[in-house]
Structure 1
Amino acid sequence: MSERQELLSGLALTTFRLNGRFLDVADALATPVGLTAAHWQVLGAVLEAPLPVSGIARAMGITRQSVQRIADLLAAKGMVEYRPNPAHRRAKLVAPTAAGLEAVHRIDPAHAAFADRLCDTIGDVRAAAALEALRLLADTLDALEGEAQGT
Protein backbone atom coordinates (compact mmCIF):
# COMPACT_ATOMS: atom_id res chain seq x y z
CA MET A 1 0.00 0.00 0.00
CA SER A 2 1.30 3.45 -0.88
CA GLU A 3 1.87 6.15 1.71
CA ARG A 4 -1.12 8.06 0.35
CA GLN A 5 -3.33 4.97 0.58
CA GLU A 6 -2.23 4.55 4.19
CA LEU A 7 -3.11 8.22 4.83
CA LEU A 8 -6.56 7.76 3.30
CA SER A 9 -7.15 4.60 5.32
CA GLY A 10 -5.96 6.32 8.49
CA LEU A 11 -8.24 9.29 7.86
CA ALA A 12 -11.22 7.02 7.23
CA LEU A 13 -10.62 4.72 10.21
CA THR A 14 -10.03 7.63 12.57
CA THR A 15 -13.18 9.35 11.29
CA PHE A 16 -15.21 6.17 11.83
CA ARG A 17 -13.81 5.92 15.36
CA LEU A 18 -14.61 9.59 16.02
CA ASN A 19 -18.13 9.13 14.67
CA GLY A 20 -18.69 6.27 17.09
CA ARG A 21 -17.29 8.24 20.01
CA PHE A 22 -19.35 11.34 19.16
CA LEU A 23 -22.48 9.21 18.89
CA ASP A 24 -21.74 7.74 22.32
CA VAL A 25 -21.27 11.23 23.78
CA ALA A 26 -24.40 12.54 22.06
CA ASP A 27 -26.45 9.60 23.34
CA ALA A 28 -25.16 10.19 26.87
CA LEU A 29 -26.13 13.86 26.66
CA ALA A 30 -29.51 13.31 24.98
CA THR A 31 -30.78 10.24 26.86
CA PRO A 32 -31.62 12.11 30.12
CA VAL A 33 -34.12 14.29 28.19
CA GLY A 34 -35.70 11.36 26.34
CA LEU A 35 -33.86 11.74 23.04
CA THR A 36 -31.29 9.72 21.15
CA ALA A 37 -28.25 11.06 19.33
CA ALA A 38 -30.16 10.66 16.06
CA HIS A 39 -33.16 12.58 17.42
CA TRP A 40 -30.89 15.38 18.62
CA GLN A 41 -29.08 15.42 15.27
CA VAL A 42 -32.30 15.90 13.30
CA LEU A 43 -33.69 18.45 15.77
CA GLY A 44 -30.39 20.33 15.66
CA ALA A 45 -30.56 20.58 11.89
CA VAL A 46 -33.85 22.50 12.02
CA LEU A 47 -33.21 24.81 14.98
CA GLU A 48 -32.26 27.76 12.74
CA ALA A 49 -34.92 27.21 10.09
CA PRO A 50 -37.29 24.48 8.93
CA LEU A 51 -35.85 22.16 6.27
CA PRO A 52 -37.18 19.39 4.06
CA VAL A 53 -36.05 15.87 4.93
CA SER A 54 -33.66 15.88 1.96
CA GLY A 55 -32.04 19.10 3.22
CA ILE A 56 -31.53 17.62 6.67
CA ALA A 57 -30.02 14.50 5.13
CA ARG A 58 -27.57 16.56 3.06
CA ALA A 59 -26.58 18.71 6.04
CA MET A 60 -26.06 15.68 8.29
CA GLY A 61 -24.50 13.36 5.73
CA ILE A 62 -27.06 10.62 6.30
CA THR A 63 -29.69 9.05 4.08
CA ARG A 64 -33.02 10.69 3.37
CA GLN A 65 -34.77 7.50 4.48
CA SER A 66 -33.04 7.58 7.88
CA VAL A 67 -34.00 11.21 8.39
CA GLN A 68 -37.60 10.50 7.35
CA ARG A 69 -37.86 7.67 9.88
CA ILE A 70 -36.43 9.83 12.68
CA ALA A 71 -38.55 12.86 11.73
CA ASP A 72 -41.67 10.66 11.79
CA LEU A 73 -40.72 9.38 15.26
CA LEU A 74 -40.09 12.94 16.48
CA ALA A 75 -43.43 14.06 15.01
CA ALA A 76 -45.20 11.22 16.83
CA LYS A 77 -43.55 12.43 20.07
CA GLY A 78 -44.63 16.02 19.38
CA MET A 79 -41.04 17.24 19.01
CA VAL A 80 -41.33 18.34 15.35
CA GLU A 81 -44.12 19.16 12.99
CA TYR A 82 -44.45 19.03 9.22
CA ARG A 83 -45.24 22.34 7.55
CA PRO A 84 -46.16 23.19 3.97
CA ASN A 85 -43.16 23.91 1.77
CA PRO A 86 -43.76 26.82 -0.62
CA ALA A 87 -40.90 25.57 -2.82
CA HIS A 88 -42.19 22.01 -3.15
CA ARG A 89 -45.72 20.76 -2.60
CA ARG A 90 -44.84 17.20 -1.60
CA ALA A 91 -41.60 17.80 0.36
CA LYS A 92 -42.92 19.16 3.66
CA LEU A 93 -40.67 21.21 5.93
CA VAL A 94 -39.63 19.76 9.28
CA ALA A 95 -39.79 22.32 12.09
CA PRO A 96 -39.23 21.94 15.82
CA THR A 97 -42.19 22.35 18.14
CA ALA A 98 -42.00 24.05 21.52
CA ALA A 99 -41.50 20.59 23.08
CA GLY A 100 -38.62 19.85 20.71
CA LEU A 101 -36.96 23.18 21.43
CA GLU A 102 -37.38 22.65 25.16
CA ALA A 103 -35.79 19.17 24.96
CA VAL A 104 -32.78 20.56 23.09
CA HIS A 105 -32.45 23.40 25.62
CA ARG A 106 -32.50 20.87 28.45
CA ILE A 107 -29.40 19.24 26.90
CA ASP A 108 -27.53 22.58 26.91
CA PRO A 109 -26.02 22.44 30.43
CA ALA A 110 -24.52 18.96 29.96
CA HIS A 111 -23.46 19.88 26.42
CA ALA A 112 -21.69 22.99 27.69
CA ALA A 113 -19.98 21.04 30.47
CA PHE A 114 -18.71 18.40 28.05
CA ALA A 115 -17.53 21.08 25.59
CA ASP A 116 -15.59 22.74 28.43
CA ARG A 117 -13.99 19.42 29.44
CA LEU A 118 -12.99 18.68 25.86
CA CYS A 119 -11.57 22.15 25.17
CA ASP A 120 -9.84 22.28 28.57
CA THR A 121 -8.13 19.01 27.66
CA ILE A 122 -7.00 19.75 24.10
CA GLY A 123 -7.14 23.55 24.14
CA ASP A 124 -9.33 25.97 22.23
CA VAL A 125 -6.74 26.55 19.50
CA ARG A 126 -6.30 22.83 18.81
CA ALA A 127 -10.07 22.26 18.90
CA ALA A 128 -10.57 25.06 16.36
CA ALA A 129 -7.77 23.69 14.16
CA ALA A 130 -9.28 20.20 14.31
CA LEU A 131 -12.67 21.59 13.31
CA GLU A 132 -11.12 23.50 10.41
CA ALA A 133 -9.29 20.37 9.23
CA LEU A 134 -12.44 18.23 9.47
CA ARG A 135 -14.48 20.81 7.54
CA LEU A 136 -11.78 20.97 4.85
CA LEU A 137 -11.76 17.18 4.61
CA ALA A 138 -15.57 17.00 4.38
CA ASP A 139 -15.71 19.78 1.75
CA THR A 140 -12.94 18.12 -0.28
CA LEU A 141 -14.67 14.74 -0.20
CA ASP A 142 -17.92 16.42 -1.32
CA ALA A 143 -16.10 18.11 -4.20
CA LEU A 144 -14.33 14.92 -5.26
CA GLU A 145 -17.60 12.99 -5.14
CA GLY A 146 -19.23 15.69 -7.24
CA GLU A 147 -16.42 15.44 -9.81
CA ALA A 148 -16.77 11.64 -9.93
CA GLN A 149 -20.51 12.00 -10.54
CA GLY A 150 -20.00 14.67 -13.14
CA THR A 151 -21.76 17.42 -11.22
Structure 2
Amino acid sequence: MTVDGHTPAGARLSSLMLDSFKLNSLLLASGDRLVAGLGLTSARWQVLGTIVAGQQPRPVAWLARDIGASRQNVQRIVNDLERDGLVTFEPNPHHKRAHLVALTDKGRAAMQDAMTLQTPWVNELAEGLSVEDIATVHEVILRLRRKLEAAAQKADADG
Protein backbone atom coordinates (compact mmCIF):
# COMPACT_ATOMS: atom_id res chain seq x y z
CA MET A 1 0.00 0.00 0.00
CA THR A 2 1.10 3.56 -0.65
CA VAL A 3 1.01 6.28 2.02
CA ASP A 4 -2.46 7.40 0.83
CA GLY A 5 -3.86 3.85 0.89
CA HIS A 6 -3.64 3.05 -2.82
CA THR A 7 -2.20 -0.25 -3.92
CA PRO A 8 0.67 0.22 -6.39
CA ALA A 9 -1.70 -0.63 -9.24
CA GLY A 10 -4.37 1.70 -7.83
CA ALA A 11 -1.90 4.58 -7.59
CA ARG A 12 -0.73 4.01 -11.15
CA LEU A 13 -4.32 3.75 -12.41
CA SER A 14 -5.22 6.97 -10.60
CA SER A 15 -2.38 8.76 -12.43
CA LEU A 16 -3.52 7.21 -15.70
CA MET A 17 -7.06 8.49 -15.11
CA LEU A 18 -5.84 12.05 -14.54
CA ASP A 19 -3.79 11.89 -17.73
CA SER A 20 -6.79 10.39 -19.55
CA PHE A 21 -8.94 13.38 -18.57
CA LYS A 22 -6.28 15.72 -19.97
CA LEU A 23 -5.91 13.58 -23.10
CA ASN A 24 -9.69 13.62 -23.63
CA SER A 25 -9.72 17.43 -23.40
CA LEU A 26 -6.85 17.69 -25.87
CA LEU A 27 -8.49 15.22 -28.27
CA LEU A 28 -11.76 17.14 -28.20
CA ALA A 29 -10.02 20.47 -28.79
CA SER A 30 -7.89 19.01 -31.60
CA GLY A 31 -10.95 17.38 -33.14
CA ASP A 32 -12.84 20.66 -32.96
CA ARG A 33 -10.02 22.43 -34.81
CA LEU A 34 -9.72 19.61 -37.36
CA VAL A 35 -13.38 19.66 -38.44
CA ALA A 36 -14.28 23.30 -37.76
CA GLY A 37 -14.05 24.16 -41.46
CA LEU A 38 -16.73 21.53 -42.13
CA GLY A 39 -19.16 23.17 -39.71
CA LEU A 40 -18.67 20.32 -37.24
CA THR A 41 -17.47 19.95 -33.68
CA SER A 42 -15.99 16.88 -32.05
CA ALA A 43 -19.39 16.18 -30.47
CA ARG A 44 -21.24 16.40 -33.80
CA TRP A 45 -18.56 14.30 -35.47
CA GLN A 46 -18.86 11.69 -32.73
CA VAL A 47 -22.64 11.47 -33.17
CA LEU A 48 -22.32 11.21 -36.96
CA GLY A 49 -19.71 8.47 -36.52
CA THR A 50 -21.97 6.59 -34.13
CA ILE A 51 -24.80 6.73 -36.67
CA VAL A 52 -22.46 5.40 -39.38
CA ALA A 53 -21.17 2.63 -37.08
CA GLY A 54 -24.74 1.54 -36.35
CA GLN A 55 -25.25 0.78 -40.05
CA GLN A 56 -28.97 1.56 -39.78
CA PRO A 57 -31.12 4.34 -38.33
CA ARG A 58 -31.48 4.12 -34.55
CA PRO A 59 -33.20 6.14 -31.82
CA VAL A 60 -31.34 8.86 -29.92
CA ALA A 61 -31.35 6.75 -26.74
CA TRP A 62 -29.38 4.01 -28.51
CA LEU A 63 -26.90 6.54 -29.90
CA ALA A 64 -26.44 7.99 -26.41
CA ARG A 65 -25.82 4.54 -24.95
CA ASP A 66 -23.21 3.77 -27.60
CA ILE A 67 -21.43 7.07 -27.00
CA GLY A 68 -21.73 6.87 -23.21
CA ALA A 69 -23.46 10.24 -22.98
CA SER A 70 -26.81 11.41 -21.68
CA ARG A 71 -29.80 11.07 -23.96
CA GLN A 72 -30.62 14.75 -23.48
CA ASN A 73 -27.17 15.88 -24.62
CA VAL A 74 -27.23 13.61 -27.66
CA GLN A 75 -30.78 14.78 -28.47
CA ARG A 76 -29.58 18.39 -28.47
CA ILE A 77 -26.73 17.53 -30.84
CA VAL A 78 -29.02 15.49 -33.10
CA ASN A 79 -31.49 18.38 -33.23
CA ASP A 80 -28.65 20.69 -34.33
CA LEU A 81 -27.54 18.17 -36.96
CA GLU A 82 -31.13 17.90 -38.23
CA ARG A 83 -31.44 21.69 -38.40
CA ASP A 84 -28.26 21.77 -40.52
CA GLY A 85 -29.53 19.02 -42.84
CA LEU A 86 -26.99 16.38 -41.79
CA VAL A 87 -29.51 13.93 -40.30
CA THR A 88 -33.20 13.32 -40.65
CA PHE A 89 -35.80 11.74 -38.39
CA GLU A 90 -37.64 8.67 -39.62
CA PRO A 91 -40.68 6.97 -38.12
CA ASN A 92 -39.87 4.16 -35.71
CA PRO A 93 -42.17 1.17 -36.21
CA HIS A 94 -41.46 0.06 -32.61
CA HIS A 95 -42.07 3.38 -30.85
CA LYS A 96 -44.27 6.31 -31.82
CA ARG A 97 -42.22 9.05 -30.12
CA ALA A 98 -38.64 7.75 -30.38
CA HIS A 99 -37.90 8.53 -34.01
CA LEU A 100 -34.98 6.92 -35.78
CA VAL A 101 -32.01 9.11 -36.71
CA ALA A 102 -30.59 8.63 -40.21
CA LEU A 103 -27.81 10.38 -42.13
CA THR A 104 -28.74 12.49 -45.11
CA ASP A 105 -26.55 12.68 -48.20
CA LYS A 106 -25.16 15.92 -46.78
CA GLY A 107 -24.37 14.12 -43.52
CA ARG A 108 -22.61 11.28 -45.34
CA ALA A 109 -20.55 13.82 -47.28
CA ALA A 110 -19.62 15.68 -44.07
CA MET A 111 -18.59 12.43 -42.43
CA GLN A 112 -16.47 11.46 -45.45
CA ASP A 113 -14.82 14.90 -45.44
CA ALA A 114 -14.11 14.58 -41.71
CA MET A 115 -12.53 11.18 -42.17
CA THR A 116 -10.41 12.51 -45.04
CA LEU A 117 -9.02 15.06 -42.59
CA GLN A 118 -8.72 12.51 -39.79
CA THR A 119 -6.52 10.02 -41.66
CA PRO A 120 -3.32 12.10 -41.94
CA TRP A 121 -3.93 13.58 -38.47
CA VAL A 122 -4.22 10.21 -36.75
CA ASN A 123 -1.32 8.77 -38.77
CA GLU A 124 0.87 11.64 -37.56
CA LEU A 125 -0.22 11.07 -33.96
CA ALA A 126 0.65 7.38 -34.32
CA GLU A 127 4.20 8.11 -35.49
CA GLY A 128 6.73 6.64 -33.08
CA LEU A 129 4.17 4.42 -31.36
CA SER A 130 4.20 0.68 -31.95
CA VAL A 131 1.06 -1.11 -33.07
CA GLU A 132 1.59 -3.49 -30.14
CA ASP A 133 1.72 -0.66 -27.58
CA ILE A 134 -1.41 0.91 -29.06
CA ALA A 135 -3.17 -2.47 -28.93
CA THR A 136 -2.15 -2.94 -25.28
CA VAL A 137 -3.45 0.49 -24.29
CA HIS A 138 -6.67 -0.20 -26.19
CA GLU A 139 -7.13 -3.52 -24.39
CA VAL A 140 -6.59 -1.90 -20.98
CA ILE A 141 -9.12 0.83 -21.82
CA LEU A 142 -11.67 -1.78 -22.93
CA ARG A 143 -11.18 -3.81 -19.74
CA LEU A 144 -11.61 -0.73 -17.55
CA ARG A 145 -14.68 0.31 -19.55
CA ARG A 146 -16.27 -3.12 -19.09
CA LYS A 147 -15.65 -2.99 -15.33
CA LEU A 148 -17.17 0.48 -15.08
CA GLU A 149 -20.17 -0.52 -17.22
CA ALA A 150 -20.75 -3.61 -15.07
CA ALA A 151 -20.55 -1.51 -11.90
CA ALA A 152 -23.03 1.00 -13.34
CA GLN A 153 -25.44 -1.77 -14.31
CA LYS A 154 -25.18 -3.27 -10.83
CA ALA A 155 -25.80 0.13 -9.22
CA ASP A 156 -28.83 0.68 -11.47
CA ALA A 157 -30.19 -2.75 -10.58
CA ASP A 158 -29.59 -2.20 -6.86
CA GLY A 159 -30.89 1.35 -6.77
Considering the TM-score relative to the shorter chain, is it more than 0.5? Answer: yes
**Residue 6 of structure 2: which of 3, 7, 15 is its match?**
3
Name the stretch that deviates more: 66-75 or 81-90: 81-90
- Tell which structure's C-alpha radius of gyration is larger: 2
Name the stretch that deviates more: 18-27 or 56-65: 18-27
Q: Give the paired residue count.
A: 151
- Which string of whole-angstrom CA distances, capped at 9 and with x for unpartnered residues, describes residues 55-106 of structure 1? 1111111111110111000000000001111221111111111001101111
Gaps of 5+ in 1: none
Aligned to 1:97: 104
Aligned to 2:90: 83
**Residue 45 of structure 1: which of 50, 53, 56 is its match?**
50
State the one-letter code of the partner of 1:27: D
Alpha-carbon distance between aligned partners in 2 of 1:29 and 1:124, rounded to the nearest angstrom: 24
Percent identity, please.
35
How far did 1:8 drift? 4.9
CA contact (8 A) 2:51 2:101 kept: yes
Structure with higher strand content: 2
**Residue 19 of structure 1: which of 10, 24, 28 is its match?**
24
Gaps of 5+ in 2: none
- Which string of whole-angstrom CA distances, capped at 9 and with x for unpartnered residues, describes residues 23-69 of structure 1? 11211221121111111011111112212111111111111111011
SS of residue paired to 1:122: coil
State the one-letter code of the partner of 1:26: G
- Report 1:1-151 matches (<5 A): 1-4=4-7, 6-47=11-52, 48-150=55-157
